[in-house]
Amino acid sequence: MGGASQVRVTVRAVLRALFGRRARGRWFHLVVGGALMMPFWILAGVVLGPFTGARSLVPTSLGDQLLSYAVALPLATVTALVSQLRPLSVAAARALCTLPDGVLADGSARSRAARLRTAAWFTLHTGVGALVSGASLALPPFAASTALVPFVPPLRTWLQVPDVPFWLLALFPVAGVAMFLALAGVSAAAGALLARAAPVLLGPTPADRLAAAERRANDLAERNRLARELHDSVGHALSAVTLQAGAARRVVDRDPEFVRQALEAIEETARRTVDELDTVLGLLRDDGAAGAHEAVAGGPTLAELDGLLARSGVPVTRERVSQRMTVGALKEVPAPESRAAYRIVQEGLSNTLRHAGAVPVSLWIARRGAESDEPGALDTLEITMENPLPDRAPVVRPGGGRGVAGMVERAAALGGVVEAGPADGVWRLYAKLPLNDRSGGTLGFDR
């Protein structure tokens, strides 16, 4: 019983391999390859006709057909060098060859290596497909006729079968079935060959992998920029609103005017933050990396610093850095550095609110280097913020915060640095951003 069961399992496995869903899909893929080869085969027959003495446009003799096939193969190879052919080949192979996800490349073949691989695949697909298609057209009628020879006497004359004993005629049905099985086996083997070759010839080249890695890196960078924007704007707003609401609650019975001003500041901060949040979330829903970059590029700059400081919730003193420095317009700072500087100041104020409360903050912003005559002197924007250290250690959020790390990433993206930590009895934040142009003098504040 065990042996019979094993035989049945083996037979089912063989039949599934020859006639199962995967085998049928791969056979159809081969037939598609044969159909794609047909125009090249006919063209080769037309070209060879004057030299072979053929009297029709389509080769009729087996020799002429094979010769046209040999000439059609290089014609197909040259045609397949077009870069747009790879997506079509990949789509067909992915749909009909039952390949795992991720093994085939997406997009047109841009590099020379990718085009050569695609041409090799197209030649293999059409060449093998033409042979299997031809056999699929010619062999089934012949195999069926052979199987019916003992039962349909006129078939003996058509097939020119000589008079043989009846027991020998009984072998004809076996031969017909064997032909069907042989065709199915050859088709399954050819389909397996193409399925094995597809990842090699249609898979991503090193250039494709590099391009995909660059796209992933760009997408990740855009998402990180959006995350920093959300952290800086929303985090600062929540810190300021929390502090102002707490202060208003404590004096609600004694100082109604202060409560009114605090509520106005809370309203203005919340409205501005909601607008920024809607913009960023809309871009995230649309999954538009280019739009996300535009949103980041369109953020607030140092020109809007006064509004930030006015609603920050802490008293800020802007200091003159040096008597030799001239006062310049904030809008002279290039836009990328100006946006980064605004966010760094915003995050510095948020950290102060979060860890020290409404303590006084000293702020210096200076543009240095433009006045230097040294060759290669850097024109940089420097930011220094200081506030008293809290009496007790701040409460650390579970998992830590991203404030300082976000400022470091933001500055590093522009080639700058950020340092933060206790120094000389105060908490000091220092940022240095190189500027892309040297159009202005040094910026300072003398308020």
| Mean pLDDT, range 329-337, rounded to an integer | 75
Where helices occur in 84-205 by DSSP H, the ranges are: 85-96, 112-147, 153-158, 166-169, 171-201
Q: What is the pLDDT of residue 377?
A: 47
Is pLDDT at 372 greater than 60 in this prediction? no
By the 8 A CB rule, do 371 and 426 touch?
Answer: no
Give me the phi and psi of 364, to 5 degrees please. -120, 135
Residues 404 and 429: their CA atoms lie apart, in Å, by 9
More reliable by pLDDT, 29 or 62: 29
Helix (H, G, I), strand (E, B) or coil at 432: strand
Helix (H, G, I), strand (E, B) or coil at 423: strand
More reliable by pLDDT, 413 or 419: 419
Is pLDDT at 222 greater than 80 in this prediction? no
Instruction: Give tens-digit pLDDT for 67-126.
Output: 889 999 999 999 888 878 888 898 888 888 888 777 888 888 888 888 999 999 999 999
pLDDT band at 330 (very low <50, low <70, confident <90, very high): low
The answer for residues whose C-beta is within 8 angstroms of residue 95's C-beta and 6 or more apart is: 25
Closest CA to 380 of 303, 329, 443, 447: 443
Yes or no: is domain 300-447 CATH 1.10.30.50? no
Is pLDDT at 184 greater than 60 in this prediction? yes
By the 8 A CB rule, do 289 and 219 touch?
Answer: yes
Q: What is the pLDDT of residue 46?
A: 82
| Mean pLDDT, range 420-438, rounded to an integer | 83
274-309 burial string, b = 16+ CB within 10 Å, else e? eebeebbeebbeeeebeebbebbeebbbbeebeebb
Is pLDDT at 169 greater than 70 in this prediction? yes
Q: Is the entire prediction scored with pTM above 0.85?
A: no
The answer for residues whose C-beta is within 8 angstroms of residue 13's C-beta and 6 or more apart is: none
Closest CA to 226 of 277, 286, 302, 275: 277
The residue behind tokens 């042979």 is 131
Residues 182 and 101: their CA atoms lie apart, in Å, by 31
Is pLDDT at 131 greater than 90 in this prediction? yes
| Pairing status of strand 426-434 against strand 380-388 | antiparallel
Question: Which percentage of the chain shows pLDDT scores above 90?
Answer: 19
Choose the weakest-confidence range: 144-153, 238-247, 292-301.
292-301
Q: What is the pLDDT of residue 219?
A: 80
Instruction: Give tens-digit pLDDT for 272-298.
Output: 777 767 766 666 665 544 444 444 455
The answer for residues whose C-beta is within 8 angstroms of residue 204's C-beta and 6 or more apart is: 104, 105, 212
Helix (H, G, I), strand (E, B) or coil at 357: coil
Cα–Cα–Cα angle for 86, 38, 64, rounded to 5 degrees: 130
Residues 107 and 202: their CA atoms lie apart, in Å, by 11
Q: What is the pLDDT of residue 55?
A: 64
